[in-house]
Amino acid sequence: MKRNLLVSASGVSLLCLLAGLSPVKALAAEIGSSEKLSEKEISSEKIASTNTIISEKVNNQMTFDVGSHSLAEYAVITTNETNPIIAQVPQNQQQTTSTGQVTSVSQLSDVQPTDWAFQALQSLVERYGCIAGYPNGTYRGNRAMTRYEFAAGLNACLDRVNELIAAATASIVTKEDLVILQRLQQEFSAELATLRGRVDALEARTAELETSQFSTTTKLQGEAIFAAIGATGGAPGSEDPNIILTNRVRLNLNTSFTGKDLLITGLQAHNFLGGVDGSGSVQQELGLTVPGVNLAASSARTGIEPQFPSFDPKDLSSKGANSVELYKLLYIFPVASKLTLFAGTAAEVSDAFPAITPFAGEGQEAISRFAGLNPVLRVSGGTSGSGLASAAGFILTPSKSLDFRALYGSVNANIPSSGDDILPGVSSTPLGSGLFGGSTVAAAQLTFKPSKSIDIGLNYANSYHEINILGTGLVSADSNALGLANGNLGIPVKLNSVGGTLNWRFSPNIALSGYGAAIFVDDSSSQVDASTTFTSWMVGLHFRDIIKKGNTAGILFGQPLYRTEADGDANLAAAGVDRTTPYHLEAYYKFKVNDNVSITPGAFVLFNPEGDDDNDTTTVGLLRTTFTF
């Protein structure tokens, strides 16, 4: 004789018994003496495996999954590459495991007295005590489940009933309930056995991991890039450089002491060359750096190349190829639900401010230095690639659609006094010394999202340089910020920089992105009376999941930094330069081999490079392979 499981509240309760899991949605099932419940009757779709649920409960601790969180959810953590940005420390990180035993159905915010299963849940709470909710106080009763999840819940309630029988404190377990429990236990015997086997295996694996793990507080994240770079064109009379093979390796140790803070310790090594005057670099071979000028820059530089490749700009000391250096040391910690602070002795502006544009990502996206970030983020060595500054600042997130950040950075904060002069007005510590006495930058960014498809970032930076440079590493004019006739590197300058970046995802896989920037330079001495203005802009299309999921591509066009105004002693162009507007055209395609390897071929073309019509159109090609782990 068949018997409907739903004839009493107890029967419903036994099917709704899951501790932290969802109740059965299809409750018209009947069990006969020889019938079995099918998976279709238990669940309309497969949601998650029991393995996942159990592992979350066994490993009941919050860990950082670097590079997988959105800006709206976090205030610090890193991007999808090894160069971390203070984009996201969890503000309200929630565990995925269920909460403890609830004592009243009223504690479950999404269960109402009018719900058909209300009495069943109430019975389970009051009679058996084997109901638990999710961390946010919900039960999620409409969520489907698998047979394994049902078995896990059944097992939890069996344990509770056995406890009650052993204690014999009350006659709350009826014969009817025991019969139904026995039949359910027989029905799900295979699943229960499998579940116990999985738990045993998981416990053994967890014990093994605990004994051999590197650290309970630290996760290692790494990135290795190999790139072949070739170029042609450049200044008149220059020869095309040889194709070179380069590498850059970064290792980040991401440590959390409280589960919400983050200490980033980053090490890197690379084999890029380029002395104080650019000697040994592809840009010098192309003739696009200013001969004999220190701290040289060029628009032909690729994105993975550090701004100061083989020397330390703090004291001009040389660095060998593939020497290990500390390029990141930052500590980020929340002090309130919407306020996070950060400080460190090896940091950059790009560590603190979201890039907005999808072209950002030295190891994964655009191949040039021009395309990745707004130039305002780059002033004063803000993206040197070597953790140039000591910095401190804050992140304020009043809402999910609004984010405000600001920082103060000092380049030579650890140097007590300037060295001897090596040029008139230029010491062997050209960026100055001390926390407040050397080259400094104060910067801020307001990021807001007027809709789910639009991100907008507004930037401002006020910076001071002991010498006459912009510190962006983008164009040759960088090393003569004021445009003085004789260069005069020893003139200190004050920079006021403003910029905006927009990213519009007008379809699921296509985004229109661009930026605009203006840098206003004034002398900060009584030696000259000069001021000048640089402008730059970029616009492009970014594509996701092209041909294969995970593949990305980009095509972009823009104007590199170009001097548009000059007053007083400043000049629009150096003597002998046929001044004209420069342009940059770039295309690349990132092929995702697997979750850890990607290959990116790409090229960019410079028209009128460095703003000189006499320079030949220059093409730089790159084949980049990126390994992440």
Q: What is the DSSP letter of 31?
A: E
More confident residue, 384 or 79: 384
- 3 state SS for 192-205: HHHHHHHHHHHHHH
The pLDDT value given to residue 170: 52
**Which segments of 129-262 does DSSP mark as H helices, in order?**
147-167, 175-187, 189-212
- Beta bridge partners of residue 556, listed in sequence order: 540, 586
Per-chain mean pLDDT for the chain: 79
Backbone φ and ψ of 333, nearest 5°:
-150, 135
The pLDDT value given to residue 584: 97
The pLDDT value given to residue 136: 74
Tell me the pLDDT band of 555, cut-offs 50, 70 and 90: very high
CB count in 10 Å sphere of residue 151: 26
The pLDDT value given to residue 216: 76
- Sequence letter at residue 201: A
pLDDT score of 55 more than 90: no
pLDDT tens digits for range 313-369: 888 888 888 999 999 999 999 999 999 999 999 998 888 898 999 999 999 999 999
The pLDDT value given to residue 255: 92
Residues 616, 235: contact at Cβ < 8 Å?
Answer: yes
Percent pLDDT > 70 in the chain is: 80
Distances (CA, A) of 100 to 57, 58, 63, 97, 136: 12, 15, 21, 10, 12
pLDDT score of 128 more than 50: yes
Distance CA 421, CA 294 (A): 14
pLDDT score of 159 more than 70: yes
The pLDDT value given to residue 73: 32
Q: For the chain, what are the domain ranges?
A: 3-60+95-212, 218-628
DSSP letters for 82-148: SS--BT--BSS---SS--SB-S-GGGSTT--TTSTTHHHHHHIIIII---B--TTS---TT----HH
More confident residue, 516 or 160: 516
pLDDT tens digits for range 58-97: 333 333 333 333 323 333 333 334 444 444 333 333 333 4
DSSP letters for 364-425: TS--BHHHHS-HHHHGGGTT-SS--EEEEEEEEEEETTEEEEEEEEETTTT--S---EEETT
Element (H, E) at 15: helix 9-15
Q: What is the DSSP letter of 43?
A: -
The pLDDT value given to residue 26: 29
Supply 257's token pair.
């002491």
pLDDT tens digits for range 566-611: 999 999 988 888 999 999 999 999 999 999 999 999 999 999 999 9
Supply 522's token pair.
């004034």
pLDDT tens digits for range 475-492: 999 989 999 988 788 899
Beta strand pairing status for 218-234 and 244-255?
antiparallel
The pLDDT value given to residue 168: 62
Nearest to 111 by CA among 138, 131, 129: 138
The pLDDT value given to residue 262: 93
Residues 468, 489: contact at Cβ < 8 Å?
Answer: yes
Distance CA 141, CA 175 (A): 28
The pLDDT value given to residue 172: 56
pLDDT tens digits for range 512-550: 999 999 999 999 888 889 999 999 999 999 999 999 999
pLDDT tens digits for range 333-345: 999 999 999 999 9
The pLDDT value given to residue 365: 95
The pLDDT value given to residue 525: 86
Nearest to 150 by CA among 185, 107, 178, 105: 185
- 3 state SS for 274-334: CCCCCCCCHHHHCCCCCCCCCCCCCCCCECCCCCCCCEECCCCEECCCCCCEEEEEEEEEE
Residues 107, 137: contact at Cβ < 8 Å?
Answer: yes
What 3-state class would DSSP assign to 518? strand
What 3-state class would DSSP assign to 34? coil
pLDDT score of 22 more than 60: no
Percent pLDDT > 90 in the chain is: 43
Distance CA 615, CA 564 (A): 19
The pLDDT value given to residue 620: 96
CATH 2.40.160.10 fits 218-628, yes or no: yes
Average pLDDT rounded to a whole number, residues 249-267: 93
- Sequence letter at residue 288: L
Nearest to 479 by CA among 610, 580, 358: 610
More confident residue, 133 or 349: 349
Tell me the pLDDT band of 212, cut-offs 50, 70 and 90: low
Tell me the pLDDT band of 99, cut-offs 50, 70 and 90: very low
Element (H, E) at 456: strand 454-465
Which residues have C-beta within 8 Å of that of residue 273, sequence separation ≥ 6? 279, 280, 281, 309, 310, 321
More confident residue, 235 or 121: 235
More confident residue, 549 or 16: 549
Least confident of 134-138, 311-315, 374-378, 514-518: 134-138
